[in-house]
Amino acid sequence: MRDHEFKSSHLSWLLVFSFVILFILAVPWYWGEGGDKPLIFGMPLWVGVSTFISFLISCLTAWVAFRTWPSDSDKSEGDE
């Protein structure tokens, strides 16, 4: 396996792991009873945490899209 293929494969698994962890953290299932006590801007703390995690998911998705999206400068084989 070439070095580039190894890095690509390793990065793919790291991205999958990152997305899974972020999606698990975004769902407030781990908050116990009384999760509405500390308020942030009038909302329960779990709402702020879920919103922030959703923002991180969006940033990661945008980074992956911009990093892997083919551009006009990319030429396929045989294309001149």
Per the domain annotation, does 40 fall within a domain? Answer: yes
Length of the chain: 80
Provide the token pair at 42. 């009038």
pLDDT surpasses 80 at 62: yes
pLDDT value of position 18: 93
Per the domain annotation, does 75 fall within a domain? Answer: no
- pTM equals 0.70
Between 57 and 36, whose confidence is greater? 57
For residue 40, the enclosing domain spans 3-67
CA distance 7 to 16: 14
pLDDT value of position 21: 94
Per the domain annotation, does 77 fall within a domain? Answer: no
CA distance 49 to 36: 12
Per the domain annotation, does 72 fall within a domain? Answer: no
Per the domain annotation, does 74 fall within a domain? Answer: no
Per the domain annotation, does 56 fall within a domain? Answer: yes
The model's pLDDT over 5-55, given as tens digits with 9 standing for 90+, comes to: 545 677 788 999 999 999 999 988 877 776 667 888 888 888 888 999 999
Domain count, the chain: 1
